[in-house]
Amino acid sequence: MTDPHAHLKDNSWRELARIDADLESGAIDEEGWHRRAAGIVVPAYLASETPWGQSGKTGTAADWEWSRSHVADAIDRVGAFLDVGCANGYLMECLTRWTPFAIEPYGLDISPELAELAGRRLPHWADRIFVGNALSWEAPRRFTFVRTGLDYVPAARRRELVERLLGCCERLVVGIFNEHETERTTEEEIETWGLEVAGRSARPNRWKPGMEYRVLWIDA
In the sheet with 103-109, reading across from the earlier edge strand, the strands are 129-131, 103-109, 79-84, 143-148, 169-180, 211-219, 199-204
Percent helix, strand, coil in the chain, to 5, is: 45, 20, 35
3-state secondary structure of 213: strand
CB atoms within 10 A of CB 21: 11
- Give the model confidence (pLDDT) of 73-110 as tens digits: 999 999 999 999 999 999 999 999 999 999 999 999 99
Four-residue CA torsion sign, 36, 41, 44, 49:
negative
Q: Is the pLDDT of residue 8 over 50?
A: no
Q: What is the CATH number of domain 59-219?
A: 3.40.50.150
Instruction: Find out whether 22 and 28 touch, Cβ atoms under 8 Å.
Output: yes
- Higher pLDDT: 83 or 12? It is 83
Q: Is 133 left (phi over 0), alpha (psi -120 to 50) or beta?
A: beta
State what percent of residues in the chain have pLDDT above 70.
94
Task: Supply the pTM of this predicted model.
Answer: 0.93
pLDDT at 3: 47
Instruction: Return the bridge partners of 180, or none.
Output: 211
Where residue 125 falls among pLDDT bands split at 50, 70, 90?
very high
pLDDT at 109: 98
Q: Whose CA is closest to 83, among 44, 130, 140, 127?
A: 130
Q: Please give the mean pLDDT across all residues of the chain.
A: 94
Q: Which residues contact 152 (CB under 8 A, 6 or more apart)?
A: 84, 85, 110, 134, 161
